[in-house]
Amino acid sequence: MKKRRLKKSKYQYIRYFFLISVVLFFIFIPVSNWYANNKIAHNHSHVVSLASGPAAGKLYAGLDILYSPWEDPVTAATSNNGSLWAFTVLGVPMSDPLGLISSLLNSFSFPVKYFLGGLVPFLIAFLFGRVFCAWLCPMTVLYAITGKIRHYLLKMKIPLMTVKLEPTTRVIVFWGGLIVTQFFGAWVWHFILPYIAFTQEIFSIIVFSNFTIGIYFLIALLVLDIGLVPDEYCKSVCPTGFLLSYIGKFSLFTLKADKKACPSRCTMCKTVCPLDLFPKEGQLYSCHLCMKCVDNCPKGHINLGLNPIYQKLNLKLNSNQEVEHETL
């Protein structure tokens, strides 16, 4: 039987545009820091060329033009800084939700600036649930590459294992991580959350010309994804995925399938779901809105809409208002 080719709609192209943009942004941050250092040390593209080569000189000249509208190019270049653990965009702080929780648990003072930056991912989660995982996490790009590598290795008849992990593993990793950070500090998350390690390694190689120990953690995860536990980290291990999934239960918007209009035997939405969910049956507790089920639903019965929780709440409020009106 011929395998059905999965569809790719504008959603997937837009999604990968966002994902690649995130990767490019975290490349741009250390490049800007490199520019700031050379601006202070040399302040001329020719001197940079003599010190680091013609390519470096051209890069410096390009960034010099980019930051020329600012009165202080060095300050402008360093206004974007950090990794996904904690970074600034034009001086506005952002932070990882687990970093915020760990900081609040470990700190005797209330970190107002850190707290406000950490609210951003929570706000996004309350609007769209676990959308970070499919649309913003740079590891999604790497896992897409390892998925292709695994596919071609299997086509070459190279035997690879497939081990499934229990989704509850991420609950253990989440609470275990929080407990461990109480004794060793929040830096422990850098060896649990690969997207943090990835962005930090980018920074390290560009600014300091070498990798850190985090590169071994990343390589190990990618090798495991190819040969042993494909797609399992995001689905069953990532503690950020667990936290955002829990918040996603109460998100304002979610996917909804018209089960009554769906063909009785159709399971396409489950087949294409990377998280093994079944949208047709309302199994969306960990959905990250990758939209693959929307793209591949043969009848177009899956759409983004208001969370049924709030629809029921709205109906209840309207019903109460009608009763009060009739009483009056």
**d(C-alpha 87, C-alpha 82), whole Å:** 4
User: What letter does residue 237 receive in the DSSP assignment?
Assistant: I
Output the pLDDT for position 16.
Answer: 94
Output the pLDDT for position 57.
Answer: 94
Q: What percent of the chain has pLDDT over 70?
A: 90
Query: In the predicted model, is pLDDT for residue 6 greater than 60?
Result: no
User: Looking at residues 196-211, what average pLDDT do you find?
Assistant: 92
pLDDT digits (tens, 9 = 90+) for 224-269: 999 999 999 999 999 999 999 999 888 999 998 888 888 888 999 9
User: Looking at residues 162-179, what average pLDDT do you find?
Assistant: 93
Helices (H), ranges, the chain: 10-41, 45-52, 54-66, 73-77, 97-106, 112-128, 131-135, 139-155, 169-184, 194-207, 214-227, 232, 239-248, 268-272, 292-296, 308-327
Q: Where are the domains of the chain?
A: 7-79, 87-250, 252-319
**d(C-alpha 257, C-alpha 261), whole Å:** 9
Output the pLDDT for position 2.
Answer: 41
Contact 270, 248 (CB under 8 A): no
pLDDT digits (tens, 9 = 90+) for 7-44: 667 889 999 999 999 999 999 999 999 999 999 999 99
How far separated are the first and last CA of the chain, in Å rounded? Answer: 67
Q: What is the pTM of this model?
A: 0.86
Contact 256, 289 (CB under 8 A): no
Q: What percent of the chain has pLDDT over 90?
A: 60
Q: Mean pLDDT lowest for which of 57-71, 255-269, 304-318?
A: 304-318
**d(C-alpha 275, C-alpha 255), whole Å:** 14
Torsion of CA 166, 168, 169, 172, to 10 degrees: -160
Q: Which of 99, 118, 137, 100 is nearest to 234 (CA)?
A: 137
- Phi and psi (nearest 5°) for 94? -130, 155
The dotted CATH code for 252-319 is: 3.30.70
Kindly report the number of other CB atoms within 10 A of residue 221's CB atom: 20
Amino acid at 198: F
